[in-house]
Every structure is written in C-alpha cells, then in structure tokens.
Amino acid sequence: MKKLHMLPLVCVLVAANVMAESQPVGKEVRQTRESKEKTSYVIGMQTGRNLRMGGMEIDVEQMIAGLRDGLDNKSTISDDEARKIMTNAMNDARRKTRVAAEDNRMRSAKFLQENRIRPGVVVLPTGVQYEVIKQGTGAKPMDVDTVVVSYRGTLINGQVFDKSEDGKPVAFKQAGLIAGWRDALKEMTVGSQWKLYVPPERAYGEQGAGAIGPNEVLIFEMELVAVKPSK
C-alpha cells in the first residue's frame, strides 16, 4: 500500500510547460486533437478529485461557466468578491473536515477496541492488529528488502479503496509503504496470508488520502508472495 499524494492542478500545468520547453529550438510542436482532448480530460479529472478531497461542494455547470469565463478573461463578479467567496468556501470545507475527522476518530477507536478482543486477533506494540489466515513457511523480509504482495484494502464500512489489479502480486519498496504495513511485514513470513487492521496513526492520520477520510481505520487482506533482497 503506497503512500498516496494529491496531484494539484498546478502540477499538471507545470508538467505541460516543462514538456513544451524541452522541445528542440525551432521545431514546431503540433498537438493532435486526440492529445488535446486527453490533456483536457486529465486536467478536469485532477481538478475534480482535488475539489472532492478538499471537501468542497461544487455546482459543476457553474464551475464550467466560470472556467469558460476565465479562459475568455472575463468575469461576472469582481476580484474582491471572488476572493471572499473562496475564503468562505475554504473555511466551510475545513470545518466539515474537522467534523468528519472527529467522527471518524471516535468510530475508529470503538472499532479497534472491540476488534482487539476477538479470538485470534493479535495486537502489535504499535497498535496494528492482525489475524493469521494462513501461516507461511518462508523467510521474513528485512527493512531494506522489496516485498511482493497481493492485497485488498477496505474501510470499516466495506468500501474498497485499493487492491492489487486482477489479483496479481505487486512489488513495493518498504520505504514507500504506510507505517502499518511495515509493522506487519516485520512479522510476516513468505506465503502468509493475514487480515490486517491499521489504526489511523499508522496509516493516513488526520489528513486522509483519496477515498480514505481523516482518522480512518484501514483493513487489508494481504498475502506476502515473495521477498526480493536488497542488492
């Protein structure tokens, strides 16, 4: 499970500028219609994702109207009014995020407290909980090793937020994994299948990531398929 990061719209635009500047001087750069359509779609998709993750409620039709006006360098409201509107919207989004974070914190704490006393559940010193579905007989990975895993991640409500594609194992360097996975992998042997319960503080904490809200417990069904020793 990789650490997730938002890709702001500015990153898309900067990347486009860098690509354009990297072309040989004097060489005409032609963008096909297909390429233009795909680029436009990606910018729109990333903008939508960032707005959703920011907790803002958007009227899509009005946003598109504003986008068109911005591209045409015109506006139906003053810059001062626009700044006030955005400040209010951002403050409202922050308030909603704080409320969600507190609700999730209490729900997560209750879940973990009840889950830890179930038969077969083991609690690590870091607070990560797990159940052994199948005990493997292979080696344990070292911190510097690359691990090959199959996994499926869900929230408490059963919503799937991530999984290995088509059930195919994925190779990860452990340095790029969430802390809860690193905690578990220290104890897993190759061939083992575990059900893992990761507290928010060993996952994405108060920030959340993508479909993962603030202070959410993450549940993984995972198998350690192989270990690739560091060279």
Give whole-number Cα distances, 11 to 17, 29, 86, in Å. 10, 21, 21
Do both 67 and 116 map to the same domain? Answer: no
Does a structural domain hold residue 2? no
Using the 3D structure, point to which of 60, 76, 92 is the last residue of a domain. 76
Does a structural domain hold residue 127? yes
Contact in structure between 141 and 224 (CB atoms under 8 Å): yes
Do both 203 and 129 map to the same domain? Answer: yes
- Residue 157 burial (C-beta neighbours within 10 Å; 0-12, 13-18, 19+): exposed
Do both 127 and 162 map to the same domain? Answer: yes
Query: CA–CA separation, 8 vs 60, rounded Å?
Result: 18
pLDDT of residue 138: 94
Query: CA–CA separation, 53 vs 208, rounded Å?
Result: 9
Which of the two residues, 205 and 24, has the higher pLDDT score? Answer: 205
**Full domain range(s) for residue 120:** 103-228
pLDDT of residue 5: 40
Does a structural domain hold residue 183? yes
Do both 59 and 109 map to the same domain? Answer: no
Do both 107 and 72 map to the same domain? Answer: no
**How does residue 10 score in pLDDT terms, banded at 50, 70 and 90?**
very low
Mean pLDDT of 154-172: 92
At 164, which CATH number? 3.10.50.40
Query: CA–CA separation, 32 vs 98, rounded Å?
Result: 45
Does a structural domain hold residue 148? yes
Do both 42 and 117 map to the same domain? Answer: no
**How does residue 14 score in pLDDT terms, banded at 50, 70 and 90?**
very low
Nearest to 143 by CA among 186, 187, 203: 186
pLDDT of residue 7: 39
Q: With 90 as the cut, is the pLDDT of residue 52 above it?
A: no
pLDDT digits (tens, 9 = 90+) for 188-231: 999 999 999 999 999 999 988 888 999 999 999 999 999 999 87
pLDDT of residue 165: 87
Do both 144 and 57 map to the same domain? Answer: no
Domain count, the chain: 2
